[in-house]
Structure 1
Amino acid sequence: MDQIDEIRLQVMWNRLISVVEEQATTLVRTAFSTSVREAGDLSAGVYDAEGRMLAQAVTGTPGHVNTMAEAVGNFLDAIPPGDMAEGDTYVTNDPWLGTGHLHDITMVTPVFRAGALIGFFACTAHIVDIGGRGFGADGKSVYEEGLQIPIMRFAMRGQVNADLIRLLRANVREPNQVVGDFYSLAACNEVGLRRLGGMLDETGLPDLGALGDFILSRTGRAMRERIAALPRGSWTNAVTSDGYDDPIRLAAKVTVEGERVLVDFDGSSPVSRWGINSPMIYTKAYAAYAVKCVVAPDIPNNAASLAAVEVTSPPNVVNAPRPAPVSLRHVIGHLVPDLVLGALAGALPGRIPAEGAGALWNIHISARPVAGQDGRRAEVLMFNSGGMGARPGLDGLSATAFPSGVMTMPIEATEQTGPIVVWRKELREGSGGDGEFRGGLGQVIEIAPLDGHEFEFSAMFDRVGSPPRGRAGGAAGAAGRVALDDGTALRPKGWQFVPAGRRLVLELPGGGGYGPPERRAPEARAEDRRKGYVSGEEP
């Protein structure tokens, strides 16, 4: 290949990324659920005819993008290419074949050109409801957690599956939102398909073959070079999750050998009887993300870069077999990066940040009028973030969703979806761990039902019993806390009740500090006091 051809293919690669960005933008603009529209809890990408991910949209979570990279292959196993046709769109929410739990809907659309299958577009989004017990940890099996959709056709030759739509409406609490999001996902892929067709027409490329080979070969070579520069050996780490009723141990061994990084989760706690387990597809997604954050953050994320990280585990809480309950798989999955990064700290001292809040403090609220009063029923979902751990050389980011990367829904948008009021949402003073570099601050959030209403809520919180640890001599961040405004302590997980006239108070954990506190610069401490990040005088 001469230099002109390489330059041309690089331009086409950039053009392909713009196609998937427009694909994701379509999903954001047309989605019904605030989790998609406001928080960006989604993914979008383009794949070659073999189901290998070539490019992903920047908007999206690692849990969605990296699981979807594997999920498209599962669609190909279930529906052979010979059974596919133009106008088809396929769908599933199978936790083990899709993205880890029933609330995530994955859609895949084949791309044909001149009658030949040349690739796929895929997208994923978290919907507000999928029936069953609702979004929470209380289920004892996946059968209690909602409607399961096997890999099947959402549309055949352009005709939407009306039976599936009727089934959805009969099984969910918010049928208009859910069905609307299904159509939004299908439209997302359709926009990608059209823009890709225009790109191929303009460039004269017959298919994605040459471009795909260029993308994957360059990415694979770059990943191998980065891994070759790492020290050889194995390193271990363990993290404790609050669990549901008992603490959960997460253990990892990271091994660098040859041209790969191997992550093994042997030694983690057994499968939980509650819905906090993670299917392997989701655990792999966040393990690969953690490695890539340190080893190759600037290398594009696609099938070749993901293939350099191999993940293994016996059946346990991070490799939960069917039909284990997995609704809150993100609680365990979001702790996997801190777990893996902690192991890599042995190989790469001075390069790994302290632990952060990790798991999102999601809350699902089921609001209703008090008995005997008129009012409104609604399902409300909020994403909230604690503090990130301090970095070598920099303070941690406050109220930032790492590793998921989702945004917090604006209060105004959240209050429009149901009869609740968010009375307070502010940084939690002093919650970041002390150190040469301070951990990021958590938040304090107060939520109450509107007058004449009450609500139940599903708590999905962690780092209450086991706060984020500091690194290299830094102090731990503040532990989280869940209570009513009268001081009544509540559990960090499970469905609970907030009566009329009371407020729910969430105190989110802060990130751990990095380095010995006595090394923190005096001007940095003064700035902390000036901004109200800490209180009191210098000790």
Structure 2
Amino acid sequence: MSDIGNIRMQVMWNRLVSVVEEQALTLLRTAFSTSVRESGDLSAGVFNPKGEMLAQAVTGTPGHVNTMAEAVAHFMAAIPRDDMFVGDTYVTNDPWLGTGHLHDITMVSPSFLDGKLVAFFACTAHVVDVGGRGFGADGKSVYEEGIQIPIMKFAEKGVVNRDLVHLLRVNVREPNQVVGDFYSLAACNDVGRRRLTGMMREAGLSSLDDLGTFIFSRTREAMLERIASLPKGSWSNELTTDGYDEPVKLAATVSVGEGGLHVDFSGTDAMSRWGINVPIIYSKAYACYALKCVVAPDIPNNAASLALFTVSSPTNILNAARPAPVSLRHVIGHLVPDLILGALATALPGRILAEGAGALWNIHLSVRPVAGAEGRRAEVLMFNSGGMGARPGLDGLSATAFPSGVHTMPIEATENTGPIVIWRKELRPDSGGDGEFRGGLGQIIEIEALAGHEFDFSAMFDRVRHPARGRAGGVDGRAGVARLDDGTPMRPKGWQHVPAGRRLVLELPGGGGYGPPERRSSEARQLDLTRGYVSGSST
């Protein structure tokens, strides 16, 4: 290809990224749920007619993007090409075919140009409720966790499936929010389709075949160059998580060869009887993300880059078989990157950050008036982040959602969704592990229902009994705590009750430190004191 041809293809590649970014921003602007609108818990991407991901939006989470990259093929297998029409949109929340649990809705829409199938658009978002037990770990099977939507048509030839919409409305606690999010997801794909066909007509393209070849060949070449520079061999790591009622061991072996990297989860504990199991599609998504962070963080994420990472596992908590309960698959799944990075730390000394809080401290509140009182009922979902591990050469980031990448919800937006008050939301002093480079801080959050109200909440917390470990001589981060304001301890997982007049206090875990504490500079320690990151007694 000539230099001019290469330049033109690069411009088209950039245009394609802008198309999917506008697709994602449409979902952000129109979503009903605060978890999508305020936190960006979503993904969007464009795929070729073979179902291979060409480009993803920058906005989004690895757990959604990388599972969606595999999910589109499942849609294509379920809906024959002859049953695909202009104006179609397909939907599922199947945990094993989508993104790992029922609360994530994935929609896929075919895109046609002059009657010819030229692409698929896909998007995913977390909705506030799917019925059943609600968002929590208490279910004993996926059947208890909510309504299951097999791969089916949300719309055919532009006409929405009203029976599906009615079925949703009578199965969820927040029908307006949930149905609104379904329409937002469909609109998101519609915007992508319109922008793509406009771009193709403007550029005189009848297909994306040549552009896809350009994208995949350049990506694969760059990835193989990076892999060639890595040491070859196999390295293992183990990590203990809180589990539900007993600790859970995660194990992984990472093998680096000339043609790619492989992760094996053999040695990981068996499936749990509680809803913390992880379908392999989600474990693979975060394993691939961790590998890419190390190998090639600056190379675009698409089918070619993902193809060089493979994952295997016997049936266990990271490869849960249907019908295992999987509602909180993110809690264990978000710890997979620390597991993978810990193995690579041996192979790449001085390049891997310390462990962090990992899993989001999600909390679902079910608020209601006390008996005999008038008031408002509401389902409120909050995403909260602990501290990242310290990095070689830099302190860890505080209250940052790594590896999920979602934003922390503004308290004003959260309070607007239900009758609650968030009295306190601040950094937690002394929660970051000491070291030459300090671990990131967690947060302290204090929540109360409005007068005359009480609430149940679903705890989805980890790093309470097993804090983030430091690296290279760094100190462990501080463990998390869940309690009432009178000191009553609360469990880290499961539905629990907060009576009227009491406040729920969450003390989120901090990240581990990096390097021996005695190497931390006096200037850095003084700055920590000045900013209130540490108390005088901790230095």
Map 1:306-345 → 2, pairs under 5 A: 306-345=306-345
Q: What corresponds to 2:190 in structure 1?
A: 190
In the alignment, the residues of structure 1 paired with residue 276 and residue 161 of structure 2 have an alpha-carbon distance, to the nearest angstrom, of 32
Q: What corresponds to 1:293 in structure 2?
A: 293
Map 1:153-164 → 2, pairs under 5 A: 153-164=153-164
Q: What corresponds to 1:358 in structure 2?
A: 358
Q: Which runs of 4+ in 1 moved over 2 A?
A: none
In the alignment, the residues of structure 2 paired with residue 524 and residue 257 of structure 1 have an alpha-carbon distance, to the nearest angstrom, of 40
In the alignment, the residues of structure 1 paired with residue 292 and residue 537 of structure 2 have an alpha-carbon distance, to the nearest angstrom, of 41
- CA 1:513–1:538: 2 relative to 1, 3 Å: closer
Map 1:129-278 → 2, pairs under 5 A: 129-278=129-278
Shift of 1:409: 1.0
- CA 1:375–1:262: 2 relative to 1, 3 Å: same
Report if aligned partners of 1:81, 1:117 keep a CA contact under 8 Å in 2.
Answer: no
Letter in 2 for 1:38: E
Q: What corresponds to 1:61 in structure 2?
A: 61
Q: Secondary structure at the match of 2:245?
A: coil
Superimposed CA distance per residue, residues 21-80 of structure 1 (whole angstroms, 9 cap, x where no aligned partner): 100010000000000000000000000000000001010000000000000011011112
Shift of 1:537: 5.8
Q: Secondary structure at the match of 2:310?
A: strand
Q: What corresponds to 2:284 in structure 1?
A: 284
In the alignment, the residues of structure 1 paired with residue 15 and residue 301 of structure 2 have an alpha-carbon distance, to the nearest angstrom, of 16
CA RMSD of aligned residues (A): 0.7
Report if aligned partners of 1:460, 1:494 keep a CA contact under 8 Å in 2.
Answer: yes
Report if aligned partners of 2:435, 2:514 keep a CA contact under 8 Å in 1.
Answer: yes
In the alignment, the residues of structure 2 paired with residue 489 and residue 361 of structure 1 have an alpha-carbon distance, to the nearest angstrom, of 16
Q: Secondary structure at the match of 1:311?
A: strand
* Residues 1:436 and 2:436 aligned together: yes
In the alignment, the residues of structure 2 paired with residue 157 and residue 224 of structure 1 have an alpha-carbon distance, to the nearest angstrom, of 42
Superimposed CA distance per residue, residues 186-229 of structure 1 (whole angstroms, 9 cap, x where no aligned partner): 00000000000110011001111111111011101111111111
Letter in 2 for 1:67: T
Superimposed CA distance per residue, residues 359-397 of structure 1 (whole angstroms, 9 cap, x where no aligned partner): 000000000000000000000000000000000000000
Report if aligned partners of 2:46, 2:54 keep a CA contact under 8 Å in 1.
Answer: yes
* Residues 1:396 and 2:399 aligned together: no
* Residues 1:29 and 2:29 aligned together: yes
TM-score under structure 1 normalisation? 0.99
Map 1:397-416 → 2, pairs under 5 A: 397-416=397-416
Q: Secondary structure at the match of 2:509?
A: coil
In the alignment, the residues of structure 1 paired with residue 260 and residue 215 of structure 2 have an alpha-carbon distance, to the nearest angstrom, of 19
Shift of 1:82: 2.1
Report if aligned partners of 2:430, 2:538 keep a CA contact under 8 Å in 1.
Answer: no
- CA 1:245–1:59: 2 relative to 1, 3 Å: same
> After alignment, is 91-100 or 206-215 more displaced?
206-215
TM-score under structure 2 normalisation? 0.99
In the alignment, the residues of structure 1 paired with residue 203 and residue 42 of structure 2 have an alpha-carbon distance, to the nearest angstrom, of 30
In the alignment, the residues of structure 2 paired with residue 227 and residue 274 of structure 1 have an alpha-carbon distance, to the nearest angstrom, of 38
Identical amino acids, percent of aligned pairs:
76
Q: What corresponds to 2:535 in structure 1?
A: 535
Map 1:456-535 → 2, pairs under 5 A: 456-535=456-535
In the alignment, the residues of structure 2 paired with residue 11 and residue 34 of structure 1 have an alpha-carbon distance, to the nearest angstrom, of 35
Q: Secondary structure at the match of 1:396?
A: coil
* Residues 1:77 and 2:77 aligned together: yes
Q: Secondary structure at the match of 2:536?
A: coil
Q: Secondary structure at the match of 1:171?
A: coil
In the alignment, the residues of structure 2 paired with residue 185 and residue 533 of structure 1 have an alpha-carbon distance, to the nearest angstrom, of 41
Aligned residues: 539
Q: Secondary structure at the match of 1:528?
A: helix
In the alignment, the residues of structure 1 paired with residue 118 and residue 416 of structure 2 have an alpha-carbon distance, to the nearest angstrom, of 43
Superimposed CA distance per residue, residues 391-430 of structure 1 (whole angstroms, 9 cap, x where no aligned partner): 0000000000000000011100100100110000000001
Shift of 1:257: 1.3
